[in-house]
A and B are shown apart, each in its own frame.
Chain A
Amino acid sequence: MTSAAQPTEVIGQEPPFVSARAIILPSIVAVMFLLFWDGAVRLSGSQLFPKPLDVLWGLVELAQKGLLIKYVVASLFRVTWGFTLAVIVGIPFGLLMGSNKLVQEAFNPLIQGFRPISPIAWIPVSILWFGVSDAAPVFLIFLASVFPITVSTAAAVKSVQSVYLRAADNFGLTKFQLFSRVIFPASLPQIVTGLRIGLGIAWLVVVAAEMIAVNSGLGYLIIDARNAGKRYDLVVAGMVLIGVIGWLLDLLMRQVERFQTVKWAYGTLHD
C-alpha cells in the first residue's frame, strides 16, 4: 500500500514566484510614468505643480524636519487603534450573525443601512462627539472597517461546507468545540479577506479624517502644505507616502494569507 504514497504524488508546491520579468516590466512602466509626469509639468510651465524630483526633495525636507516619521507614525497609530477595535467588535459579531439566524435577521437590515454611509459623512458628527482629538479619526476608522469585517465574517460562517459540520457532529463535538475547531478555522480564510478589505478602507479614511479632525498625520500634512504657502511639492510627497504605506499594509495582509491555516482556501496564490 505504501506504493500509493510516493512523495512524487505531492502536488501544489509553488515555484518561486518573483521572476526577473516581474521586476523589470513594472519598473519600465514606472520610469515611463515619471518621465511623462516630468515632461508634462515642464511643457505646461506650471509654477505650482511639482516635478518628480521636487517631490523627492520635498520628502527629504520632511525627513530633515522630523515630520516624515512623526506624521507616518501618527497616521499608523490611528489606523492601528481604529482597525483593532473594528476587529474586536466585527469578528465576534460576524461569527454570531453567521451562526445564528435570529441575530442575522434582526441586525442585518440595520447594518446594510449603515454600510453605504461613507465614513467621510460621519466627520462632522465625530467632531461633535470627540472634538479635535485622536479619538475622532480612530472612531471614523473603526466605522469604516467594522462593516466589511462583520459582513465578511458572517458570510464566511454561512458558507462553511455542510460536510465539515456533519463530520464534526459525527465526532461528537460540543457546541464550543464545533465553533473553535471547525467553524472558526473553516471561516478564517474569508475572514482574513474581510480584514484585508477593512484595512484598505481604514487607510483611505484616516487621510480624509486627518484633513479635518486633527493637527498631525499624512492627511493633515497634505491639507496644511496646501493652505500654508501652496507647497504642492509637499502635497504630492504626502500622497506618495500614503500610496507606498497603503501598498505595504496590503502586502502585509497578503503575507497573512500565506499561512497554512488559511492558504488552503485560496487555491493558487493570487499575488
Chain B
Amino acid sequence: MIEPPAQNLPTERTGPAAVLVRDVWMDFPVKQGSQAVPVLERINVEIQRGEFVCVVGPSGCGKTTLLNIIAGFLNASRGEVQVEGEPVHGPDPRRIVIFQEGSVFPWLTVSANVGFALSRKTAAERNQIVQHYIDMVGLTGFESAYLRQLSGGMRQRVEIARALAANPEVLYMDEPFGALDYFTRFKMRADLVRIWQQEKKTILFVTHDIDEAIQLADRVVVLSSRPSTIRLILSVSLPRPRDLNSRDYLDTRDRILHALGMSLQNGIPPDAGD
C-alpha cells in the first residue's frame, strides 16, 4: 500500500524549506564499465526549520547514501538538494553530520574535540561554549578524558556536543546509536529529544529502527528496499515524552510496517532486509 506523501507540517513558513530534496535519483557503478545499480529513485522530501525528521528503511536500502547526498558528500545522479533555498554543492559547517562509525578524534581530549570547530573564537569564548555543550550532553567531569577512556555511548555524546558547538542550523545523523546497547540507546534518544527541544535545530535522522523513528520524529520518511523509493511520509503527532504503549504509537508502527510490506503477525517477507 503506497500512500501519497503527506503534506508538510503547517509550521511557520516564513521562507524556503530548511532542507529540500527534489527528485533525487542515484545510481552506483559497482565497477567501472559494469551496469549501474539504481539505489535511490525519485526522492522528494521537504524539511521545515526546527523539524525532526527520521528516515527509516531496511538495511542496505540507501539511507546513508541519501544522507551523504543531502550533506553534500556525494553528488546525486539526478535531482538536487537545497538548503534554505540554496543548492548544496558540498559539505558545510552550517550542516554537521554525525557519523554512524563515530568521527570523534581519538588524539584529542573531550574538550578539544568539542571545541574543534571553534578555532576562530577567543579562548574565553571557546571555553564557555565547550563547557556549555559538555554539560548539555552530560559529560561534565570528563573534559580531559580521551576517547579510549570513554564508553560507546559517551563517545556519541562527544560527537553530538562537537556538532552542536559548531552551531549548525541542521544536524544530519546517520544511525548514531546503532552500535550502542539497548539501554544506552534508550537513554540517548530521550537526551537527544531534550537537546533538540533546547537547541531548536533541524534534525534529519537516519535509522533502520522503526521504534526509534517513532520515538524521535515529527515526521517519518519510510524508504523501501533497494532501489529505494519513498513508501510513506508519516506525521507523528504524539505528545512528548512519548508513551510507547499507547494505541497511537502502536498504530503508527503498524502503518510503517505495513508500508514496508511487513506485519508483526506474518514476519518479514523474503525480499525485505538486505
**Pairing of A with B:** yes
User: Which residues in A have some Cβ–Cβ distance to B below 8 Å?
Assistant: 1-5, 7, 9-13, 163-164, 166-167, 169-172, 177, 181-182, 185-186, 188, 260-265
From the candidates A9, A163, A164, A188, name the one contacting B150 in the complex (CB within 8 A): A9
B149 touches A261 (CB 8 A): no
A264 nearest CB neighbor, chain B only: B106
List residues of chain B with CB within 8 A of the CB of A7: 141
* A88 to B159 alpha-carbon distance, docked (Å): 35
**Total inter-chain residue pairs, C-beta < 8 Å:** 92
For residue B142, CB closer than 8 A to chain A, the reply is yes
From the candidates B90, B105, B166, name the one contacting A164 in the complex (CB within 8 A): B105
A171 touches B117 (CB 8 A): yes
**Chain A nearest Cβ from B21, distance in angstroms:** 18
**Chain A nearest Cβ from B118, distance in angstroms:** 10
List residues of chain A with CB within 8 A of the CB of B141: 5, 7
For residue B272, CB closer than 8 A to chain A, the reply is no
**Chain A nearest Cβ from B99, distance in angstroms:** 5
* A167 to B148 alpha-carbon distance, docked (Å): 19
A selection of 24 A-B contacts at a CB cut-off of 8 Å is A1-B138, A1-B187, A2-B138, A4-B191, A5-B139, A5-B154, A5-B157, A9-B151, A9-B154, A11-B150, A13-B149, A167-B103, A170-B71, A170-B91, A170-B97, A181-B116, A185-B105, A185-B107, A185-B108, A186-B105, A186-B107, A260-B146, A263-B148, A265-B106
**Interface hits, B140-167 → A, CB 8 Å:** 140-142, 145-151, 153-154, 157, 166
List residues of chain B with CB within 8 A of the CB of A1: 137-138, 187, 191, 194
Q: 15 new A-B pairs (CB below 8 Å) besides A4-B153, A185-B107?
A: A9-B151, A10-B142, A10-B149, A12-B149, A166-B73, A166-B99, A169-B73, A170-B95, A171-B93, A171-B116, A172-B91, A172-B117, A261-B107, A264-B146, A264-B148
For residue B66, CB closer than 8 A to chain A, the reply is no
Given A166-B73, A264-B106, A264-B147, answer yes or no on A5-B91 (Cβ-Cβ < 8 Å): no
For residue B243, CB closer than 8 A to chain A, the reply is no
* A6 to B6 alpha-carbon distance, docked (Å): 43
**Chain A nearest Cβ from B2, distance in angstroms:** 34
A4 touches B138 (CB 8 A): yes
B107 touches A264 (CB 8 A): yes
A163 touches B102 (CB 8 A): yes
Q: How many residues of chain B have a CB within 8 Å of chain A?
A: 41
* A1 to B154 alpha-carbon distance, docked (Å): 11
For residue B86, CB closer than 8 A to chain A, the reply is no
* A177 to B119 alpha-carbon distance, docked (Å): 10
A167 nearest CB neighbor, chain B only: B103
Q: Among B107, B149, B194, find the residue whose CB has the most chain A CB atoms closer than 10 A.
A: B107
Q: Among B106, B119, B151, find the residue whose CB has the most chain A CB atoms closer than 10 A.
A: B106
B183 nearest CB neighbor, chain A only: A4
List residues of chain B with CB within 8 A of the CB of A265: 106
* A226 to B71 alpha-carbon distance, docked (Å): 71
For residue B248, CB closer than 8 A to chain A, the reply is no
List residues of chain A with CB within 8 A of the CB of B153: 4
B195 nearest CB neighbor, chain A only: A1
What 6 pairs across the A-B complex have the smallest Cβ distances? Answer: A1-B138, A167-B103, A264-B106, A172-B93, A185-B107, A170-B91
List residues of chain B with CB within 8 A of the CB of A171: 93, 96, 116-117, 166
List residues of chain B with CB within 8 A of the CB of A13: 149
List residues of chain B with CB within 8 A of the CB of A12: 148-149
A262 touches B117 (CB 8 A): no
